[in-house]
């Protein structure tokens, strides 16, 4: 009896607030009764995926419900090989996968990096919501800079632009409007990501895949998405496949300190 192969796909986007479909593809090839499952990752960043296999008369070289990190700009990355257990018996397989951007297995990062204030030299801006803020930063190391609409947003750290959302005009002070956030997402050299959110409509001046330098102009602030008024939301994080973000405290250079954690209610001047 010839082996029977059955394949079902269910790809779940766990980054629910994303307005971009990640360019990641899973597929399989059959050779000598072995099934190889591959991935093509056309994104400029690693992608992480967790697989849940349902196998009949087959074993997998990759652990069930394990997480695999697929390198950026990679074609035909081998996920697993399925091999039959009992020859000449029917085989079937299916799998589901959840995936998200970044290295979901990452634990370490550059904790000593000093960030630049994300606005122009000579400007003084206040933090109207800081870490673990009561409005929308519960259990988050995120900062809201009090920037007026149209204020220049500069990169706090060099990196690669991995997402630009630019076309939204709506906002409201409710989490339901988070899907309308205009934002720029940048991956740093240590694998962490910076989220610059609430840009104005068509406010980004950088493009996905572009390498940007520290203090380079990224775009202009606004109040799109989950916002009660104009400001810049800034957070640095590592990602997990289930959508959870591991937020990271970030130190900034200010006119008064070479490296300090910014506090809610205080103002900070950028001298250089």
Instruction: Please tell me which residue, 74 or 18, carries the higher pLDDT value.
Output: 74
106 within some domain: no
pLDDT tens for residues 113-147?
999 999 999 999 999 887 865 666 667 788 999 99
Task: Note the pTM of the prediction, 2 decimals.
Answer: 0.89
Q: What pLDDT, on a 0 to 100 scale, did the predictor assign at position 7?
A: 41
pLDDT at 10: 37
Classify 176 as helix, strand or coil.
Answer: helix
CATH of residue 181: 2.70.70.10
Identify whether residues 162 and 206 lie together within a single domain: yes
| Residue 95 predicted with pLDDT over 50 | yes
Residue 194: its H or E element: strand 193-197
* Range of the structural domain that residue 42 is part of: 11-101
Contacts of 172 (CB under 8 A, 6+ apart): 226, 227
- Are 59 and 132 members of one domain? no
Q: Are strands 171-172 and 225-226 parallel, antiparallel or unpaired?
A: parallel
- Domain CATH for 27: 2.60.40
Tokens of 171: 């906002």
Q: How many domains does the chain have?
A: 2
The answer to whether residues 255 and 157 belong to one domain is yes
Query: Which pLDDT score is estimated for 118?
Result: 98
* Residue 244 lies inside a defined structural domain of this protein: yes
Which range among 8-17, 36-45, 128-137 shows the weakest confidence by mean pLDDT?
Answer: 8-17
> What three-state secondary structure class fits 19?
coil
Residue keyed to tokens 């930063």: 137
CA distance 119 to 147: 9
What separation, in Å, do the N-terminal and C-terminal C-alpha atoms of the chain show?
A: 74
State the chain's mean pLDDT as an integer: 89
pLDDT in tens, 163-197: 999 999 998 888 888 889 999 999 999 999 999 99
Q: Are 100 and 17 in contact (CB under 8 A)?
A: no
> Does residue 42 register a pLDDT over 80?
yes
Cα distances (Å, whole numbers) of residue 246 to 53, 66, 119: 27, 19, 25
State residue 136's pLDDT score.
Answer: 61
């Amino acid at each position: 009896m010839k082996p029977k192969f059955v394949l079902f796909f269910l790809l779940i986007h766990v980054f629910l607030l994303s307005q971009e479909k990640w360019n990641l593809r899973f597929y399989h090839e059959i050779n000598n009764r072995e099934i190889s499952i591959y991935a093509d990752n056309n994104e400029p960043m690693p992608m992480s995926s967790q697989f849940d296999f349902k196998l009949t008369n087959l074993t997998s070289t990759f652990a069930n419900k394990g997480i695999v990190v697929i390198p950026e700009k990679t074609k035909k990355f081998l996920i697993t090989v399925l091999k039959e257990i009992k020859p000449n018996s029917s085989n079937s397989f299916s799998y589901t996968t959840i995936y998200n951007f970044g290295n979901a297995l990452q634990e370490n990062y550059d904790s000593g990096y000093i960030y630049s204030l994300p606005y122009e030299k000579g400007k003084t801006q206040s933090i109207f919501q800081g870490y673990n803020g009561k409005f929308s930063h519960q259990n988050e190391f995120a900062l809201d800079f009090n920037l007026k609409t149209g204020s220049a947003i500069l990169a706090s750290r060099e990196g690669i632009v991995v997402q630009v959302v630019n076309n939204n005009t709506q906002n409201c002070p409710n989490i339901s409007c988070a899907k309308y956030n205009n934002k720029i997402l940048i991956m740093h050299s240590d694998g962490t990501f910076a989220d610059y959110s609430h840009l104005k409509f068509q406010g980004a001046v950088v493009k996905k895949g572009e390498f940007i330098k520290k203090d380079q102009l990224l775009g202009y602030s606004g109040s799109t998405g989950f916002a009660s008024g104009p400001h810049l939301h800034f957070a640095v994080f590592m990602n997990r496949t289930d959508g959870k973000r591991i937020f990271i405290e970030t130190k900034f250079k200010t006119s008064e300190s070479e490296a300090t954690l910014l506090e809610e209610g205080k103002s900070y001047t950028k001298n250089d």
